[in-house]
């Protein structure tokens, strides 16, 4: 059986998200983005297609890539304003068995959260349901 996506070289993936948002450009709508944290340090993208009774996918240009080998993107999500948010647990150590939790190279302070927006496109106005009637 062939895999739906060729994920060669992608390990591990820490979260994926379908790119569906009125804020994002038409050419990325419905694509799948995955966060690759060890040997790729990027948010990859896959274009999806119907394939008989299932689905297929083809890797397309990355959503984001970094040359910083400690960049560890994780958990991409579409936020209430339509932008893509993702974490970066920025750390030189990637394993949990081969390194001590007390290793002086382990970074405990540099994680961050990014918001990736589409250039030249307005952000969405979040809908606040609090205080509104059900209809």
The span from the first CA to the last CA of the chain, in angstroms, equals: 47
**Greatest mean pLDDT among 1-5, 71-75, 99-103, 127-131:** 71-75
Q: What is the pTM of this model?
A: 0.81
Provide the CA 126 distance to its chain's centre, in angstroms: 21
Specify which residues 77 forms β-bridges with. 85
Structural contact between residues 48 and 79, judged by C-beta atoms closer than 8 angstroms: no
Which run of H or E residues covers position 85? strand 84-88
30: left (phi over 0), alpha (psi -120 to 50) or beta: left
pLDDT score at 2: 55
Domains of the chain by residue range: 14-116
Burial of 100 (0-12, 13-18, 19+ CB in 10 A): exposed
For the stretch 66-119, pLDDT in tens is 998 888 899 999 999 999 999 998 887 776 666 677 778 777 777 899 999 999
């Amino acid at each position: 059986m062939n895999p739906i996506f060729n994920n060669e070289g992608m390990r591990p993936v820490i979260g994926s998200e379908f790119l569906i948002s009125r804020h994002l450009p038409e050419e990325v709508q419905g694509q799948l983005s995955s966060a690759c944290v060890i040997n790729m340090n990027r948010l990859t993208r896959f274009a999806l297609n119907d394939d008989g009774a299932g689905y297929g996918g083809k890797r397309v240009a990355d959503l984001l890539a970094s040359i910083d080998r400690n960049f560890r993107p994780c958990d991409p999500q579409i936020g209430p304003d339509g932008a893509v948010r993702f974490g970066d647990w920025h750390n030189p150590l990637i394993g949990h068995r081969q390194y001590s939790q007390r290793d002086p190279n382990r970074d405990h302070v540099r994680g961050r959260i990014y918001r990736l927006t589409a250039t030249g496109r307005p952000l969405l106005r979040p809908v606040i349901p609090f205080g509104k009637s059900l209809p």
